[in-house]
């Protein structure tokens, strides 16, 4: 039986205003400094950036619904990271043949098939697994606030075994050997990190954290000098 990786992006649950859609480099500045810059910019305009983001109520029932469709083996391995690119390594090293992805992004590569010639990153890791024939099947379950459509990836859809599903389309008792939960901090705000940590803990399994630094969000404590530094981020 093929090993199956269940890969979950925290942004699956987050409604993001269109102004904050985009492609970002996953680095230390974009994990926190960029969020302070956005906060300051919105405050100058008289806006509260917290109002531009919202958590889906699906968060409260997600693990229950997962267990209705997936069988989580007792010896399951769970990994937590900031970057979703780790899913590539997990699938490759554990010889997973199937991936179920819960995400607001398909991570198949953006810009057509040529994007799969780039090195593995958070936006193409799933496409790379397919291209390199490391997996036989990719199942994508979009989050409720996604801006993507399956037809955006027609070149990949025509070549590889990719399915776009909803919860109701999932089979029962899909056996899962590994779970990866990523925070995608360049896209998900730091004031939701406590919720992310609770979400991970609510799964109820031990987990290994791989490069997921703590983000200290305290905008009320930043001084004028720090504001200047953040605005240059």
**Cβ atoms of residues 183 and 82 within 8 Å:** yes
pLDDT of residue 59: 96
> What pLDDT is stored for residue 227 in this prediction?
63
Strands (E), 111-173: 137-142, 162-165
Q: What is the pLDDT of residue 220?
A: 83
Q: Which two tokens stand for residue 29?
A: 């500045």
The full length of the chain comes to: 233
Spacing of C-alpha 31 from chain mean position: 14
Question: What would the two tokens of residue 18 be?
Answer: 């269109």
Query: pTM for this structure?
Result: 0.93
Q: Which of 185, 162, 168 is nearest to 99 (CA)?
A: 162
**Per-block average pLDDT, block size 10, for the chain (233 residues)?**
94 79 64 90 90 93 97 94 98 98 95 91 96 98 94 96 96 96 94 98 97 92 65 63
Are residues 13 and 143 in contact, defined by beta-carbon separation less than 8 angstroms? yes
């Amino acid at each position: 039986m093929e090993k199956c990786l269940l890969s979950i992006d925290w942004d699956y649950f987050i409604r993001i205003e269109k102004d904050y859609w985009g492609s970002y480099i996953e680095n230390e500045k974009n994990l926190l400094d960029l969020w302070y810059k956005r906060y300051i910019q919105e405050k100058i305009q008289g806006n509260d950036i917290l109002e531009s983001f919202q958590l889906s109520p699906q968060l409260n029932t997600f693990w229950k619904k997962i267990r209705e469709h997936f069988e989580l083996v007792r010896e399951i391995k769970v990994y937590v990271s900031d970057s979703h690119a780790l899913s590539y390594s997990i699938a490759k090293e554990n010889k997973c043949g199937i991936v179920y992805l819960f995400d607001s992004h398909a991570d198949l590569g953006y810009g057509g098939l040529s994007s799969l010639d780039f090195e593995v990153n958070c936006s193409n890791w799933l496409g790379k697994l397919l291209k390199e024939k490391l997996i036989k099947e990719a199942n994508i379950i979009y989050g409720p606030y996604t801006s993507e459509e399956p037809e955006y990836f027609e070149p990949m859809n025509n070549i590889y075994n990719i399915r776009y599903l909803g919860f109701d389309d999932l089979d029962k008792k899909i056996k899962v050997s590994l779970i990866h939960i990523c925070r995608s901090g360049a896209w998900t705000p730091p004031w939701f990190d406590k919720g992310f940590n609770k979400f991970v803990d609510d799964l109820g399994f031990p987990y290994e954290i791989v490069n997921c630094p703590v983000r200290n969000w305290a905008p009320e404590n930043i001084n004028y000098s720090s504001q200047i530094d953040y605005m240059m981020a």
